[in-house]
Structure 1
């Protein structure tokens, strides 16, 4: 990279892992060391772990957050290792079916106390869709309609000048953020929503305002403070600089693509410039010093989905080095996988200290890195 940063604790750990187990070293090439794990071995071990942690009611980590089950199911189905007829998957789907709200179309349960309705609905919609079972099609369609009704500005209650216009938050009309917005747009795409739908036209207004890039698409007072093309989580208030970071930048760039923004657009180019300078499969770049491991598994999913959406097989960093991102993500996950097939972050933020969530994220990321059949 052109800009070097001090090594953080997470980076030191990453380097130790990289030169420890999993990678094919010179010694291994001569036949003197452990063989690097294949994609199938990593994925199979992860599935094996999930078989041991599923609750009797079909859920995973329900006491922590019922949405984790949807993440796990996505990983199982998208990886191609499990089908809807598998007993484990069938139990999981049955559990998620209990959160279908026939009144509004959401997939987060009923009652005023339900939290994170958009996040859960997006996660569960994709789980149903990834199962491949057509019986869920009406449920998926109803959930997509629920999203469109709850988008900020959908009912014209907020003008386009409102910073949250076009975004999605944790529930209908809530403050928008890039995380929920990219989940919602992924869900709408999975549901078969047309690319020219008004939801995407409104979403691109919000997404553009979450980028550190001053111009015709971002009128926020902080937009030119950093101006590096990165994306932030939420706008907030005031004009102080708002540094972006990896997971949100990949999510934001992917959203731009889903909304029809071309690769020739300055928003796309500037985001790719930031990615080239900060490319990493070892940390979530841009986080505070010593916190590069925060949201790491979520980050890998964001990266993999973004590059897949953009149709990129390789990425060139700011130093001109070409990266096979699929192989690198697979290798990074192989290096970190525990003997029982799980992963677990040392950073408890965003629930990533929960192995079931991390395994779900890892399987989703792996679904985009599977080697192509020769």
Structure 2
């Protein structure tokens, strides 16, 4: 196969907020779009704030036809499920530093999938549309005028095809859950399902804190491919999608806490770059990490460090951005995917145990 990487934008300056359109002006099938956004942190710090917090939506559109639509947090969660790792990130709270994040849009089952890709020639005016609003703050956001955007289309020139379709991923049902309420959400029946996700996003809370169970009912319970309670959901998330790792540089003193994007952590470590200091992990409450920081410059009389120092956290786990995934068989085998268009009814059922920010994300194959 002959491939080509096409820059659609490179280090293009972004206003602090807005809606940015990038025309998908390529003549070859696109296997993947790589989107990089960077900004300079505030002059003092950028406490517990990342670029993905400020990405309202990343979409691929053709007029009113939406081919892809997720926000920044959802894109991280989806990458963790489908790639089994997070895209490259430089997450730092240090003042005046560069924070950078990568967001991936896959149109195929994997990079350079010869059968599934987005062919721009089949659309009238395909565009990438990014809606964002960088938080401008000296202590908990970014410096004004420092946003930059790079977009790369990873294309196939020869050795592919015939193209059968492309993966279409969209968030369908944003809602705020009410604790102890039962939900039954009607899902679309237009294209086959490759992956279904429930987003249950609530800081300091994991799967068992947010939902009692997940149940997928087809044709009024004639077929129930999934009915899993929280304990088994946790096990299967790890079994199906593995664990991912995230690194974050934080600026904290003793008796402080911060958040990662991993809501079901398995291991969290923290080290400090400050000379003659020791940092300890004192508690991990899902995505919340609490630390102790000690000044050891006088070893005989160690002291609590009340001035913020640079520390590096490495977290490993799953449920990134609160996403719980339900795959349909082998993600690389279209014969396993759910033929939604042949069903009379598809419903996702669950009981909310907390008031979380929710959404339903579906990855489908569209011809």
TM over 0.5: no
More strand by share: 2
TM-score (norm 2): 0.22
Higher-Rg structure is 2
More helix by share: 1
